[in-house]
A and B are shown apart, each in its own frame.
Chain A
Amino acid sequence: MDTSIISSYLPLFAEAFILTVKIGWIGIGLSLLLGITDAFILYFRIPILSGIVKAYVELFRNTPLLVQLFFLYYGLPAVGIRISAEVCGAIGLGLLGGSYMTESIRSGLEAVPAIQTESSFALGMNRIQAFVLVIVPQAFSISVPAIIANIIFLLKETSVFSAISLMDLMFTAKDLIGLYYNTTESLFLLVIFYILMLLPVSLAGSYIEKRARFKMFGD
């Protein structure tokens, strides 16, 4: 491995890293918004919308991100809908992630025993008070491990962005390998930057998970 090559590649990778992380976290933010909204729609069994949400979740959980991105980025312009690669990456990740987040949040809400709602009612709370004060805090701690797993999954999925010609980490690595054949150095930097992206989340995740569990169960 040649350290001078590594230091000359470093700025390119750093730039790609920032782009990948940025789009990745925007996508994750979108997926959380979508997941929370959808989970509430399902929990309260809102007619029509529930049906749409169910169909959406099934569709996006059962197809690969790469295929979704191809459809959004190459397919839609053919019928006149054109979006930039960056927006497309964030929306694609958000849609994929939204389907996973919906499931995680919904199952958290449903895991809170019905009697918790009933005992809130017995104390005179209305439906909204019971939901906000009693159900949501418990559901949140139940959902935390799944939400963190989804975030890690989505950050890993950013590695397919290069397919829609986003200049992300994979794109940069492939480009440099193709141009200069410095395979070892390029792959080394690729791995380092993905560790940089995911290890902190993985560690923080385990910590939060432990705390959430400590606060909750243990009967």
Chain B
Amino acid sequence: MSEEILKIEHLYKRYDDIPVLEDISLTVKKGETVVIVGPSGCGKSTFLRCINGLEDIQDGHVYLEDALINPASGESVQNRQRIGMVFQSYDLFPHKTVLENVILAPMKVQKRKKEDATEEALALLDRVGLSARKDSYPRQLSGGQKQRVAIVRALMMHPEVLLFDEVTAALDPEMVREVLDVILDLARNNSTMLIVTHEMAFARAIADRVLFLDGGHIIEDTDPGQFFDSPGTDRAKKFLQTFEYESVR
């Protein structure tokens, strides 16, 4: 359980001249669930995108075990499929059915047989309660259903690390639960995950470790009980207070 899988060293990211992430270092162990929280614009989403090599970085390194992912090279494109990512806006392929969406990359990238990929896809779709919708097009699904398909699509590649970028932020409240339940299920199976979220109750329930990001720096890196009950910094305290309401009565 203590094997290191993801290693980020002194990562710097700027857009033009505006620094977004400054000197971020982080090590994630296999099976660990890391939740990243912080105010809007603190760089959480950018951080995930850098881990997956979707963003160029100005300095530092991202390693998946021994493979260098970012700064990108020809080899890192190969290794990138070992990291799965689910986006806020689901981004299913609108011209393909649910089943086609989830088997496309296994067939084309991993060159797996169609029957084999389909079999696994159906099992996974069943696990998230969507096997009956396999022939639907994305536009025929609700937001929550689309997001569950997007998770299955990422799982099909058997990623060693999963990144979730505010996956419930675009959903209606009653659909949030169905998506978070799927992620909780993954945590129970010891998947390695980095999760950016605004759902504090969920964060507390799922996290092995909480990172609090603000102004492009990791301000706190601690266990969830500690973070939510007695945050070490004023900035984290202030941030957590924005989720509370005072009674007006």
Contact of B91 among A116, A125, A215 (CB under 8 A): A116
Contact of A122 among B80, B110, B137 (CB under 8 A): B80
User: A219 to B91, alpha carbons, bound, how many Å?
Assistant: 12
Contact of A216 among B84, B91, B95 (CB under 8 A): B95
Residue B157 interfacial (CB < 8 Å): yes
B64-91 vs A, CB cutoff 8 Å, 1 = contact: the mask equals 0000000000000110110111010101
Q: Are A141 and B95 in contact (CB under 8 A)?
A: yes
Sorting the interface of chain A by its residue count into under 10, 10 to 19, 20 to 34 or 35 or more gives 20 to 34
B192-205 vs A, CB cutoff 8 Å, 1 = contact: the mask equals 00000000000000
Residue B108 interfacial (CB < 8 Å): yes
Q: Are B109 and A122 in contact (CB under 8 A)?
A: no
In the complex, what residues of A have CB within 8 A of residue B94's CB? 138, 216-217, 219
A133-155 vs B, CB cutoff 8 Å, 1 = contact: the mask equals 11001100100000000000000
Q: Are B109 and A124 in contact (CB under 8 A)?
A: yes
Residue A47 interfacial (CB < 8 Å): no
Contact of B105 among A118, A124, A137 (CB under 8 A): A124
* Residues in chain B within 8 A of chain A (CB atoms): 49, 52-54, 77-78, 80-81, 83-85, 87, 89, 91, 93-95, 104-105, 108-110, 137-140, 150, 153-154, 157
In the complex, what residues of B have CB within 8 A of residue A138's CB? 93-95
Residue A48 interfacial (CB < 8 Å): no
User: A217 to B84, alpha carbons, bound, how many Å?
Assistant: 26
In the complex, what residues of B have CB within 8 A of residue A126's CB? 77
User: A138 to B137, alpha carbons, bound, how many Å?
Assistant: 14
Q: Are B93 and A134 in contact (CB under 8 A)?
A: yes
In the complex, what residues of A have CB within 8 A of residue B138's CB? 219
30 A–B contacts from the bound complex (CB under 8 Å): A115-B87, A116-B93, A118-B54, A118-B87, A118-B91, A119-B87, A120-B105, A121-B52, A121-B53, A121-B77, A122-B52, A122-B54, A122-B80, A122-B154, A123-B153, A123-B154, A124-B77, A124-B78, A124-B109, A125-B105, A126-B77, A134-B93, A138-B93, A138-B95, A141-B95, A216-B94, A216-B95, A217-B94, A218-B140, A219-B138
Q: Are B95 and A124 in contact (CB under 8 A)?
A: no
In the complex, what residues of B have CB within 8 A of residue A122's CB? 52, 54, 80, 83-85, 87, 154
Most A C-beta atoms less than 10 A away, residue of B52, B89, B109, B138: B109
* Residues in chain A within 8 A of chain B (CB atoms): 113, 115-116, 118-126, 129, 133-134, 137-138, 141, 215-219
Quote the shortest CB–CB distance from B86 to chain A (angstroms): 8
User: A200 to B80, alpha carbons, bound, how many Å?
Assistant: 49
Q: Are B91 and A119 in contact (CB under 8 A)?
A: yes
Q: Are A123 and B105 in contact (CB under 8 A)?
A: yes
Quote the shortest CB–CB distance from B81 to chain A (angstroms): 2
User: A147 to B89, alpha carbons, bound, how many Å?
Assistant: 29
Closest to B139 in A: A218
In the complex, what residues of A have CB within 8 A of residue B137's CB? 215
